[in-house]
Each structure stands twice: as structure tokens, then as C-alpha cells.
Amino acid sequence: MWFREDLRLGDNPALAAAAATGLPLLCVYIDEDARDGLRALGGAARWRLDRARAALEADLARFHGRLHCFRGAAEAVLPDLARAANVTHLLFNRRHGGAERAVDARVAERLAAAGARVESFNGALLVEPEQIATRSGGAFKVFTPFWRAARARLDAAEPVPAPEKLTFAALPVGTPALAPARPGWAENFPDPDAGEAGALTRLRHFTDEKLDGYETMRDRIDCDGTSNLSAHLRFGEISPRQIVAALRGRPAEKFLSELGWREFSAHLLHARPDLPWRNFNARFDRFPYRSDPEALLAWTRGRTGYPIVDAAMRHLWRTGLMPNRARMIVASFLTKHLLIDWREGESWFWDTLIDADSANNAASWQWVAGSGADAAPYFRIFNPVLQGEKFDPDGAFVRTHCPELARLPKRYIHRPWSAPAEVLAGAGVVLGRDWPAPIVDHDFARRRALEAFGAIAASSGE
């Protein structure tokens, strides 16, 4: 059993099939080399992965089993292991990235050539890309029709129970072990409550306490109205089928459609493996992005002078997480206010988010930037002040992450530069010393972004 992004025992079809063979099991995880297009995990995700893997090891230990971890290229590790251990079957759950699929195909070919039976399963998605298509047979490019088609098939997505019994083979070769990842800045992240048990607890908490208010509270940056399941999903500590099953019979369309966006992103990446580095809409190849390392640095460090942007970016740095609404605000700010290429933001998120996922990250950045599938209309440019006032109305989120502004009254918390001198003095804030001037003026930036979009409009000619 080759574990990859499915680090759980429940609703794990490959593991269930492995158990059903009755054969002794070798559970393997490979820390795969970043080559042949495989992207090295970012620092935060890597930190999170170690916790997921440790939790799976503990779960397997309850069956007196082990997770054998290797490092290298799967095409080399698995055939060697197959020879050494007389492996007769290889089972795994499918991945959907381009490079990952290529690796899996080569592995399957080699193992099959060595006489092993290779089987793969769907453990990651509610509906796999091969299962739905438009009438003309193509991949969907607009969310609504995509989700209409996928949503209709949800009843067929029943979770597979966790195996009741597992027997394990001894590993005849030496016992490899991964050196712990360098913790770096991530060592101070809050406890992710990793693993299958943590994920199920989080799901139950969500369905019991938060589902009813989800539609309105999901956007509140100060209230934690989201499910917080993203990292659990990312490493497969829980499956989308298990979530759908837990939601059955409850009004949960809005939340289901968020799972739908996760599916849509995976389908887009399947259709366009270059999604993480190439504009989905080629017209954006002409978009006049600016090179501005100083502004990019200010954005990453939370020093743009816009409180909601800076609070969100500091929160990301401290926790490896950011609520969805905040992700949209900071992404819009980078691509539209600063006119910096979405790939810069995508790669910062890739390195700092514990839930970084190549499909979701790329599809969402492109969506905000306007280059993606079903992208935001060109005129949708978030005003960071209005967004702050709407979704962090008392400024609680800003006060937590930007303590230098903590004493500002809420009227000015999202726009310190417009506070009267006596208000600033009363709050102990000196602009330019305690808080930077806005890196760019909103009205100016908005007009500049609209002009940039005009420059690549189709009517402007090829």
C-alpha cells in the first residue's frame, strides 16, 4: 500500500482493497524527489505533512503495523522494494497533477513488468475528471455547469469503511527513516491537531456548531466561521466523501459548493497541468505586470500600510493559515493594487500555507488575478478598507495581528491615515513610525489596474 495524499484508514479504497486481499501488508510512504516536474513541498506544508505522517504511523501502530518511509524517486524506490520483499500487488489512490500522474504511470509500468498486480483507486475526489464532461466532450471551464454536473453524482460517493483487520509483512530490507524536516519558522505554528482523529473531530465540531451559520459567517475574518478542514483534506486525513456523508440530510449547499471548488480546481489542473505556472487565459501573457521587489517584500511581511492586508499576511506567517476571504483580499491587493504577477503570490502561498495544494492554489490565484477559468470580472477590484470594515467590523482581527494599532477606535482601524491627529495621539500611533503610509493609494491603484486590463482587452487587437 503506497500512501501519498491519503493519510487515513477510513474511506481509503486502496487500503480497503489491500486488506481485502488478505495478504500481509507493507505500508510505504515516499518523500519524493522534486524532479521531472514534481514540485518540492513548501516549508509550511512540509511541517504539516510530518504531523500527518506521524499520526498515520500511530494509527497503524494500533494494528501493530508500521509506515515505512523512504526518500528518493518512486520509480526507483518501489521496484527495488518489490524485488526485495516479493511484492505481488501495488495499490494506491490516484493523484491528479500532471507530473504526479506521470510518475504513477511509470511506477505502475515497472511494477507490472516485474509481475506485480497494480491497482489504483479514487480516494481524493467526489468526481474524477474522467467521469464528467460537457456535451461536446471537453472539460468544464465554468464553475456553475461543472458543479451542476458533479453535484448530481454525489449520492454515488459513498465512503468505504476503515478495514477492521490488517496484517503486516516484515520489511526484509533495512528500516529507513526520514530525518525530521527542519522546523524553521513553522515550529511556532499552533498545534494542527493532525491526523484522522483530529480531522473527524474538526468535522463534527463544524457540523454541530458552525454549519447553520456558515453562509454568512464564512466571510467573517474575525469569527472563524469556516470549517478549518483544508489541511486535513490536503493530506487526506479526511476525504471529501466522508464530509459529504456527514452533511447528508442537512441544508449545506453553500458548504458543498466550496467542496465543489476544490473539485473544480483538481479538474482544471487535470485538463491543464501547467496551471501553476501558465496563464489559463493566454491573453494575460500580455498583461503589464510590474517588477517591484520592494513592494513584494512589503506584501509578504505585512507592511503595506493597509491594516486588513497586513494583519492577514502576518497571520499567515504566524500560523500557516489564512481564511478564504482574507486570501482573496491579499491576492487582489498583490495583483491589482501592486500589479505584481500572480505567480509571485502563488509561490509565497505555496511556501507558507500548511494546506498548500497545487490545484487549489493555482486555480484560485488565477481566478483572483483574472487570468483563470471563470475568472472575476475585470472591474472586481477589492477595496481593502471596505473589505476590512465589512468582514472585520470591529477590527478585532487587525488588533490581534497589528498590535501597534490596537488602541485605534474602530472607525479608523482600517484606515489609520485618515484618523485625526488627536485620535492618533490618543492611540499612541505615529504614522510613518509605528505604522507605514499606504504603499499605494487606493484610487490611483484602482484606475491603474483598470487601465492595465483595458490594455489586454480583446478589442485592442492581437
Q: Which chain residues interact with DNA by CB under 7 A?
A: 134-136, 138, 140-146, 148-149, 219, 257-258, 261, 324-325, 328, 364, 367, 370, 374, 376-383, 386-387, 390, 442-443, 446, 453-454, 457-459
Nearest distance in Å: CB 329, DNA: 8
Nearest distance in Å: CB 108, DNA: 30
How far apart are the two ends of the chain, measured CA to CA in Å?
Answer: 52
Please report which helix (H) or strand (E) contains residue 146, including its range.
helix 143-151
Is residue 405 within 8 Å of residue 307, measured between CB atoms? yes
Rounded Cα gap, residues 281 and 276, in angstroms = 13
Indicate the residue among 63 and 378 with the shorter CB distance to DNA: 378
Indicate the residue among 122 and 383 with the shorter CB distance to DNA: 383
Indicate the residue among 83 and 148 with the shorter CB distance to DNA: 148
Indicate the residue among 189 and 382 with the shorter CB distance to DNA: 382
Indicate the residue among 16 and 440 with the shorter CB distance to DNA: 440
- Cβ contacts of 168-174, under 8 Å, gap ≥ 24: 168/24, 168/25, 168/26, 168/27, 168/63, 168/64, 168/65, 168/66, 169/24, 169/25, 169/26, 169/85, 171/26, 171/66, 171/68, 171/85, 172/84, 172/85, 173/81, 173/84, 173/85
Query: 121 CB contacts (<8 Å, ≥6 apart)?
Result: 13, 14, 17, 91, 92, 93, 94
Nearest distance in Å: CB 381, DNA: 6
Indicate the residue among 348 and 453 with the shorter CB distance to DNA: 453
Is residue 202 within 8 Å of residue 355, measured between CB atoms? no
Indicate the residue among 69 and 149 with the shorter CB distance to DNA: 149
Nearest distance in Å: CB 53, DNA: 29
Nearest distance in Å: CB 189, DNA: 24
Indicate the residue among 86 and 134 with the shorter CB distance to DNA: 134
Nearest distance in Å: CB 367, DNA: 5
The b/e string for 197-227 (b: 16+ C-beta within 10 A; e otherwise) is ebbbebbeebbeebbeebeeebbbbbbebbb
Query: How is residue 419 annotated by DSSP?
Result: S
Nearest distance in Å: CB 307, DNA: 14
Rounded Cα gap, residues 267 and 142, in angstroms = 11
Single-letter residue type at 98: G
Indicate the residue among 261 and 289 with the shorter CB distance to DNA: 261
Alpha helix (H) ranges present in 353-441? 358-369, 384-391, 396-401, 421-427
Nearest distance in Å: CB 272, DNA: 11
Closest CA relative to residue 352, chosen from 52, 55, 47: 47
Closest CA relative to residue 262, chosen from 101, 159, 126, 354: 126
Is residue 387 within 8 Å of residue 308, measured between CB atoms? yes
Nearest distance in Å: CB 324, DNA: 6
Indicate the residue among 117 and 380 with the shorter CB distance to DNA: 380
Nearest distance in Å: CB 155, DNA: 19
Q: Is the dihedral of CA 82, 234, 269, 14 positive or negative?
A: positive
